[in-house]
Structure 1
């Protein structure tokens, strides 16, 4: 079998100027990064702002399992297929984080014959966006400690500094640290730590800002901690917002690349969905919508995490209204949700498929709760049997949902044409999109609403100090913010081993964080970490250059 990386290296890529021309963009509208990738300029985005928008299609999935679901692969395959049937379609996905690439998750460019290229660049440093975000974040951290060192004019209580540092790598040793040790010249000692860059509020801000002015305004609103009188201190108070914007000026411009079939794709931003809001940038999505009839985008992990945040946070703050949702599943993943071990997935078991469809059905109910039409895309594997596919179709028929079998991994866009036609029909059926809760709902009630309505928990629980913190933020004017639940992606519960469609469990909220610049509150639930660790055998052990200077083991 030909590997993903070999397929990507054999791609017949067009010059990025030709891909831009397909979208109606001129040479002056892009900033090339080599021959196969470019950024869309600020001026071009501003010029496009008055154009009517195309249709937005959200691709999401059942809860992830070790068997794989193929959400990004399906996003790419659907975009290629829409172009094959005569629709002008653009793909929008997130950039990959180095942490998972060198850990265990791998890359984020699709797979098989449904990939975005240059895949190796995208999974490494790409155009440097993540490094710019890391630098801007850590500049603010340095300016906080520097301000305290030189007299602390703002009277910052060093015990209540909430701004941590970040790096784009999994490193559990950095979660909690004592800093500033070694004497007077090294500043004031205090306890702090690191998060991964994709959990940074700066990442969220870049992905939710409308333009450079909005970006700087949001950066200025970041709350870094509190004074001795417990008044908030912002990045603007420290004079950091201007320099942070300068560092992010180029990174804010969306990246244009292409699929294996030479169709346009925007790859920009990369907040994780299990610890952040899990969507590509708002400017990339808006730009694509003004250049295309259809835009296919994805939300991270399962629909309970990714789709909910895409709809309740990104669409709310960005004024987006999706036309349809595609819910990706595989027979293998459904069997795992039905209780079958990974080692036994090769054996036919239609009953396990039916049992596992409970997870699928829960996501269907949730997505319909947003007023959106739903289509199930079966990401086909060679080992799928007719009986197993029939079991899936029977279940979906009982729920009034159509199933489209897609073979894009093996056949590219040609293998997803049926899916594309079904999506066009679904879009024409109309949508009545609405969010899960109103802006006016109290913060704790928003958290409980998501936990009970989306995760089917009996309730959420938190220490009195957490509830008190939310009430303080409401009094400070942040009560209209949406909430971002940070929890395991593997289950509707906070127990990653509890697959299927559990209900009646309790969601423990152990901490809440204010993202005043991004415009949402994060509720950290269960054992989820905002700085992941590497697995026992990280992928980094197998990544190297071969004798020809080509990368091995990255994907």
Structure 2
């Protein structure tokens, strides 16, 4: 079987002007990056906002395993299938981060016959959006240190600077650092940190801002430090907003690309869902909804992370509401949740499937608790058996009242997902969504965290460390208590123990640190041992990547 990149390169692409024309985007509002990528002009997007929205389909998944689930691949296959059955369709996806590309997880352009293209360009640098976000974040960090160096007019307490730096790469050595060493000419010595760019508050602001004015207002609200009398110091106080916005101006225009079957896709923004809010940009989602009758989007990792944040943060802030939800699983992954080792997944195991179904069941029930109609997509593998599929199909119908659809889009492209597309269309047509969020705005921050832990994770309670509790109390006193919460925890389990698979219940969620993201408009709760700067694995994917004599990237999936 050819690799993903071999499939992508063997598939002829349409020019980006042809892709734009297929969705009624005039060529004069495109800012091309070569023949197959373009940014959409901001003024064109503003003109679209008076149009009615199309139907929004949120694709999420079970808790990820080493067996693979294929959420992005399913988004793309479903989008191609909707187009094949006659629907005017667009995709709204996140951009890949270089960290996973060179680390362990890989890229984020789908796989097999269901990919967005050009996959190598999208996975490596793309249009430079992440670099612009990194530069804006690090400019603000430099301006904080520079302000202190030149007299500290704002009276910043150098012990309470909370704005570190970012880089779009996995690098555990940068998690805790000391800057300003070398004497007075290099500034002042203080501890700091690096996060990966996808965890930056600038990334969250970038993805939640409704337009360029909203972007600048949010940037101004970023709290970077406190004064010696414990008052907040913001990016607005430092007069950094204009320069940061200038760095982000081009990046704020969403990127238009295509699937291998020519379905238009907006790929824009990319916060992780285990350490951030896990959704593509609001601008891309809203633009797609004004251009297409059906828009397929995704939220990162399992439904307990990305989908919960999509609904409790993105929808809360924007008024968006999905018309249907697709939960992606594989029989292999369900068997792994049922206790089967990865090496034994090719063997039929009905009992393991029944045990592992608990993970899928909780994710589906969680999505139903938001008031969403749900369809289960079972991403097909060659080792799957009809008997195994029948077990999951019947369990979905009997316990959950939902349909599970076997889908072969990885090998067959959109043709392999047509049944899934028709089931989603039927679910939308037969259901009226009344979105129900996990908690209300007026609940205290601690109760919001507890609500997610108990209602979504199945936990008995939370355990808040003393320093985190003090921060929560301080934020409440300062007037931030109405914000939603963004919980950072392992993606591999409903608990904070990545090895606890299936659907654990009655566990305790430990809250070790609280961070305010005032510009993004949420409060981050870090749980267990989750890190906002990942490390590379023992054998990083970077070791297999190279460039041929012809200048083509090799070894990229």
1:473-496 alpha-carbon deviations (Å, 9 max, x no partner): 122221111000000000000000
Q: Larger deviation: 27-36 or 125-134? A: 27-36
Aligned to 1:411: 412
1:111-160 alpha-carbon deviations (Å, 9 max, x no partner): 00000000000100000000000000000000000000000000000000
In structure 1, distance between residues paired with 2:242 and 2:505: 47
Q: Larger deviation: 28-37 or 513-522? A: 28-37
Aligned to 1:181: 181
Aligned to 2:49: 49
Is 1:273 aligned to 2:308, yes or no?
no
| SS class of match (1:478) | coil
| SS class of match (1:348) | coil
Deviation at 1:28, TM superposition (A): 1.7
**8 Å Cα contact 2:465-2:510 kept in structure 1:** no
Aligned to 1:452: 454
Deviation at 1:394, TM superposition (A): 1.6
Q: Larger deviation: 270-279 or 18-27? A: 18-27
| SS class of match (2:279) | coil
1:24-52 alpha-carbon deviations (Å, 9 max, x no partner): 11112111111100011110111101000
Aligned to 1:150: 150
Deviation at 1:468, TM superposition (A): 2.2
Deviation at 1:464, TM superposition (A): 2.7
Q: Which runs of 5+ in 2 are unaligned?
A: none
In structure 1, distance between residues paired with 2:238 and 2:33: 34
Deviation at 1:547, TM superposition (A): 3.2
In structure 2, distance between residues paired with 1:471 and 1:329: 40
Aligned to 2:519: 517
Deviation at 1:319, TM superposition (A): 1.1
Deviation at 1:548, TM superposition (A): 3.0
Aligned to 1:96: 96
In structure 1, distance between residues paired with 2:550 and 2:12: 20
| Superposed counterparts of 1:485-500, under 5 Å | 485-500=487-502
| SS class of match (1:76) | helix
Aligned counterpart in structure 2 of residue 439 of structure 1, from 435, 438, 441: 441
Is 1:553 aligned to 2:555, yes or no?
yes
| SS class of match (1:297) | strand
Aligned to 1:534: 536
In structure 1, distance between residues paired with 2:211 and 2:328: 33
| Superposed counterparts of 1:222-233, under 5 Å | 222-233=222-233
**8 Å Cα contact 2:254-2:267 kept in structure 1:** yes
1:301-360 alpha-carbon deviations (Å, 9 max, x no partner): 000001000000011111101100000010100000000000000111111111110000
Deviation at 1:275, TM superposition (A): 0.1
Deviation at 1:549, TM superposition (A): 2.4
In structure 1, distance between residues paired with 2:461 and 2:408: 40
Deviation at 1:466, TM superposition (A): 1.4
Q: Larger deviation: 473-482 or 316-325? A: 473-482
**8 Å Cα contact 2:467-2:513 kept in structure 1:** no
1:174-205 alpha-carbon deviations (Å, 9 max, x no partner): 00111101011000100001000000000000
In structure 2, distance between residues paired with 1:263 and 1:187: 52
Aligned to 1:85: 85
In structure 2, distance between residues paired with 1:318 and 1:442: 21
In structure 2, distance between residues paired with 1:195 and 1:502: 30
TM-score, normalisation: structure 2: 0.99
Deviation at 1:209, TM superposition (A): 0.3
In structure 1, distance between residues paired with 2:88 and 2:12: 21
In structure 2, distance between residues paired with 1:502 and 1:522: 23
In structure 2, distance between residues paired with 1:26 and 1:551: 32
Is 1:9 aligned to 2:9, yes or no?
yes
| SS class of match (1:376) | strand
Moved over 6 A (4+): none
| SS class of match (2:239) | coil
In structure 2, distance between residues paired with 1:361 and 1:477: 38
1:222-260 alpha-carbon deviations (Å, 9 max, x no partner): 000100000000000000011000000000110000000
Deviation at 1:401, TM superposition (A): 1.0
Deviation at 1:397, TM superposition (A): 1.4
Is 1:427 aligned to 2:432, yes or no?
no
In structure 2, distance between residues paired with 1:457 and 1:167: 34
In structure 2, distance between residues paired with 1:289 and 1:397: 31
